[in-house]
A and B are shown apart, each in its own frame.
Chain A
Amino acid sequence: MTPFRLPAGGRIDRSHKIGFSFDGRAYYGHAGDTLASALLANGVSLMARSFKYHRPRGPVTAGASEPNALVTIGTGGRTEPNTRATVAELYEGLDAVSQNRWPSLSFDIGSVNSLLSPVLGAGFYYKTFMWPAAFWEKVYEPLIRKAAGLGRATYEADPDSYEKCWAHCDLLVIGGGAAGLSAAVTAARAGARVIVADEQAEMGGWLLSESGVIDGTLAATVLAGLLFELEGHPNVTLLSRSTVFGWYDDGVFGAVERVQKHVPRIDANRPVERLWRIAARHAILATGAEERPLVFGGNDIPGVMTASAMRTWLTRYGVAAGKNPAIFANDDSAYALAADLEAAGMAVAAIVDPRADGGRDWTGRAEVLRGAVVTDAHGGKAVEAISVRVNGTLRKIAADALAMAGGFSPVIHLSCHRGAKPVWSEEKAAFLAPSGLDGLTVAGGAAALRGLGAVMADGAAKAASVLAAIGFAGTPAFASAPEEGGAAKPLWSVPGTKGKAFVDYQNDVHTKDLGLAVREGYGHVELAKRYTTNGMATDQGKLGNVNAIGILAEARGVSPAEVGTTTFRPFYTPVSFGALAGTSRGKHFQPVRQSPLHGWAKRNGATFVETGLWYRSAWFPRAGETTWRESVDREVTTTRSAAGLCDVSTLGKIEITGRDAATFLDRVYCNGFAKLPVGKARYGLMLREDGFIYDDGTTSRLEENRYFMTTTTAYAAGVMAHLEFCAQALWPELDVRFASVTDEWAQMAIAGPKSREILSAIVDADLSDAAMPFLGAKTVTLGGGAIEARLFRISFSGELAYELAVPAGYGEAVADAIMEAGRVHGICAYGVEALAVMRIEKGHVTHNEINGTVVPADLGFGRMVSATKADFIGRAMLAREGLTDLDRPRLVGVKPVDPKDGFRTGSHILAEGAEATLENDQGYVSSSCYSPSLGHTIGLALVKRGPERLGERVQIWNSLRGEFTMGVLTSPVFIDPDNARLHG
């Protein structure tokens, strides 16, 4: 038996020993223990060092609000810092280490900070690091960063998996304690779909810690009965180890379920945590109440804890917090603890009750000192004695533990997550949830009710009225019962203490800090928080905030109602990044889109480049080629001299049908489409409503009322949404429909002087210029009618070229067949790099030029814009004078004066001899490449009055690289300006 484990009692399984380690030392506990209860059973109450002063700390609570006992659990990628030992379930091999100490927990150099406390008071950050200014970045900030935080996160990847899911229910019960379970039973019997979520491993809340009876039945027996019934209802889902951490709009709650945080060996096929989003028609908040510590000197020494924590150790875990504990009771509930302690054979050193008439019903052995306060607890790493002021005199009493009963604060955080503020109740001496919440009802201890009978009755009654409101006939499962005891007048802090009296344990904020904040003008609750750090960090002031508000109220001479609270926000308790990320990590972070020709490209040795989600073939290196440029130059040269095949499947493809398809296209393109003959393709420019170009592409008329639109790869989804918006929101009177068919077709460009000859071997139709002229578009068959395909005579390269679209599944076979047919003609596969080189050589634009700042005239497309159409998107705004100004940057070609010189995309254009200043900037290079056809670098540029300046020498300036190149402005069409190749 471990030294502080009682011989009997508690809900632990004494037949099942569990070995674990803390700071490298081996201990054992039992199934049902938390790390904290097992350590306390082993006599280890020093579990951590505080944040600022490095004071020795042990658990002050036995649950989720624990500010002190934070440890790091796990090793390697499973290292989890700042884990509350009070909620960490014990499992075989659990490996925990303490934090914020060096060299060891019991001997910590950092505790010298306690001696420096006069300069480490509230606001010391703002006062101390002011001078010299140069020290901030080099000295102060690195020091502060080193000192900040408690545990250290691991740099290793998390080896475990996480998942997310949705759930829907009629009633969500948050908290599986007395109120929650009685509400759940009431709803279950009414046939409602119920989810009960509770943060602990075992449902029951305070029923797990209560030794007494409810209406004549032992609390544990009541609990067993409730759970037995709920488990038998198929309409009830019990989620234990699940913290509801946030209330969001429309009755959606977030919860995190710790699926495998308590197991020695993690099953890789299951998540370790699961993030739930629960859409509930209504929810009952049954989160109970938090016992407040009392604020006196040394109230942070290990062994000082809330009375409910001490009672939980005793009755739930069979652990004695001390051999002769004392009790500081400003609340009658502490007397139940005293009775339990004495029943367990412990001598209670004293019950110190500040109230003149407290504990009138006490019949136990312990002495009650009424009208008395504990001014200080004494001890270093454990409590040794307490100083009690009674009748004006100080009395020292030996005690090795001290329970504090400061009254109860309802746990109402979730009720305020959507913006409502808590309301102070003088009668209950507590902040209550705001009333009139839409879809959330607060019940039991969370509604400031006292006594398990009253709490259960409240849960049942509230559930019944909620059920009625959402269409179920529910009868309360428990009859009403009177409240037990009332709230005492709060004792916010004890005057005349010697040692530091802590308010916020985790941030080492003590009473003097709050007093200082008020004196220095930071008494507003939000300012005091920032000035003192009260209520920050992992516990967000769950334990200390109400005391802090009370102390601020006293210091300012106002009511806590006037001080108010800081804002409650999700998450209620910390949520791991893993749970929030879910499955969106590694390869699952974003999907990979592969073209239907991906396999073909891979077989041909493609190097791929990521373009959004797509992987596009960038170039196809061959044996002996050592740089990408060698491959690209060869692909360009081969295509221009013989033929090339390029995968263009990633272009967006939208099929547009309907009686008014032509009218619709006329309105979304700035050029005309209504008169486009069937069997022809046309280049189209789509504007935004502000007149700037949005996207471009070719659209073909396949039938009278059927068009096939292509978009750029990047804007495929955006154009689709835009078309849908125009059709649905702007012109619902038009009969037009869209289908995104990007993934239905494998589309390949076959370009080069031999392309017709090669394709003729595959395509059944006549491909002569007469039968299939430039911009022809028709449905054809391949391989003697085997496959139906669409053939377009369009050219991005400037060569005689076609685009062939076949059903996606046939893509690779058709590409293989074309390559085979083209082998004797010297065909090569080419990638998007060669495609880009050829389009720059031909002066074709892409989104490098269509970058949101250009209008059609800027690109030489001014005459494309219809002057006759009454309306199209962008027409009105395009007429603005600023957009018709000839001084605008317009498209022009640029090449180096000396062919040996190069330049880069992004370089700026300056007049010859002009200084490189913002005022002299005349434009910039939007695209550039080495042109194997011309043997030097070429570029497209947007230059002021560019087309009027052909032949002018300019400077091409790259300030990032410090490069100046002398260049000449030219036509943007570098090859085949009279389109002889195109029409070949």
Chain B
Amino acid sequence: MASLITCPHCGPRPKEEFSIRSDASLTRPAPDADAETWHAYVYLRDNSRGRHREYWHHAAGCRRWLVVERDTQTHVVHSVTDAADATRTRGAA
């Protein structure tokens, strides 16, 4: 686990200021998506080794949700982006 997270709004901050929610690689399905898709979104998670995208909330900072891409094996943080930007980018892609 990283010791410092470089928040795009606040700069490098100790990890204790953040709380972690879940896998950020998942996209919330369309409301009318089939049951299987919803089941996978709500319940199924990869326990990946290597690069992993995760939602981190700067709860004791700017209160923005961030997408932290980190390596679960080496603990290297590859990128930290604002979750809204990440969602917009994904929507555009």
Residue ranges of A at the interface with B (Cβ–Cβ < 8 Å): 166, 248-252, 277, 279, 418, 689-690, 721, 724-725, 728-730, 732-733, 870-871, 875-877, 880
Contact = CB atoms under 8 A, between A and B. Distances in A.
B33 A876 contact: yes
Given A725-B65, A728-B65, A729-B84, 12 more contacts: A250-B4, A251-B4, A277-B14, A689-B41, A690-B43, A728-B82, A732-B83, A871-B31, A876-B29, A876-B31, A876-B35, A877-B42
A732 B75 contact: no
8 contacts: A277-B14, A279-B3, A689-B42, A724-B64, A728-B87, A729-B55, A876-B38, A877-B42
A250 B83 contact: no
A251 B75 CA distance: 12
Given A279-B12, A876-B29, A729 B87 contact: yes
B57 interface: yes
B63 A724 contact: yes
Interface in B22-64: 24, 28-29, 31, 33, 35, 38, 41-43, 55, 57, 59, 63-64
Contacts of B86: 729
Given A250-B2, A250-B3, A870 B21 contact: no
Contacts of B63: 724
Contacts of A249: 1-4, 75
Given A721-B57, A724-B57, A252 B42 contact: no
Contact of B65 (A250, A724, A871): A724
Interface string B60-93: 0001110000000001010000111111100000
Indicate the member of B41, B85, B87, B88 with the most A CB atoms within 10 Å: B87
B57 A725 contact: yes
A725 B38 contact: no
B88 A732 contact: yes
Given A249-B2, A728-B83, A732-B87, A166 B57 contact: no
A19 B71 CA distance: 56
A346 to B, nearest CB: 51
B77 A250 contact: yes
B84 A279 contact: no
A741 B1 CA distance: 33
Contacts of B35: 876, 880
Nearest to B39: A877
A300 B33 CA distance: 74
B31 A875 contact: yes
Contacts, number: 70
The 9 closest A-B pairs by CB, nearest first: A732-B84, A252-B3, A871-B31, A729-B83, A250-B4, A728-B65, A250-B3, A249-B3, A876-B38
A729 B14 CA distance: 22
Main secondary structure, interface of B, reads mixed
Contacts of A871: 31
Contact of B64 (A166, A728, A733, A870): A728
Nearest to A870: B31
A775 to B, nearest CB: 29
A401 B41 CA distance: 72
Contacts of A721: 19, 57, 59
Interface of B: 1-4, 12, 14, 19, 21, 24, 28-29, 31, 33, 35, 38, 41-43, 55, 57, 59, 63-65, 75, 77, 82-88
Nearest to A248: B3
Nearest to B5: A250
Given A250-B4, A877-B38, A729 B31 contact: no
A689 B27 CA distance: 13
Nearest to A247: B3
A733 B4 CA distance: 30
B65 A690 contact: no
A248 B1 CA distance: 9
Contacts of A248: 3
A729 B38 contact: no
Contacts of B21: 725
A250 B76 CA distance: 8
A667 to B, nearest CB: 10
A724 B29 CA distance: 19
Contacts of B55: 725, 729
Nearest to B29: A876
A875 B19 CA distance: 26
Contacts of A729: 24, 55, 65, 83-84, 86-87
Nearest to B77: A250
Nearest to B74: A419
A418 B63 CA distance: 30
A279 B31 contact: no
A657 to B, nearest CB: 15
B76 to A, nearest CB: 8
Nearest to A168: B12
Nearest to A872: B31
A30 to B, nearest CB: 42
A252 B31 CA distance: 44
A252 B4 contact: yes
Contacts of B2: 249-250
A725 B83 CA distance: 9
B31 to A, nearest CB: 4
B19 A279 contact: no
Nearest to A722: B21
A418 B21 CA distance: 25
Contacts of B85: 732
A43 B22 CA distance: 63
A249 B68 CA distance: 15
A690 B38 CA distance: 9
A733 B64 CA distance: 15
A279 B43 CA distance: 37
Contacts of B1: 249
A163 to B, nearest CB: 16
Contacts of A279: 3-4, 12
Contacts of A418: 75
B14 to A, nearest CB: 7
A389 to B, nearest CB: 51
Contacts of A732: 83-85, 87-88
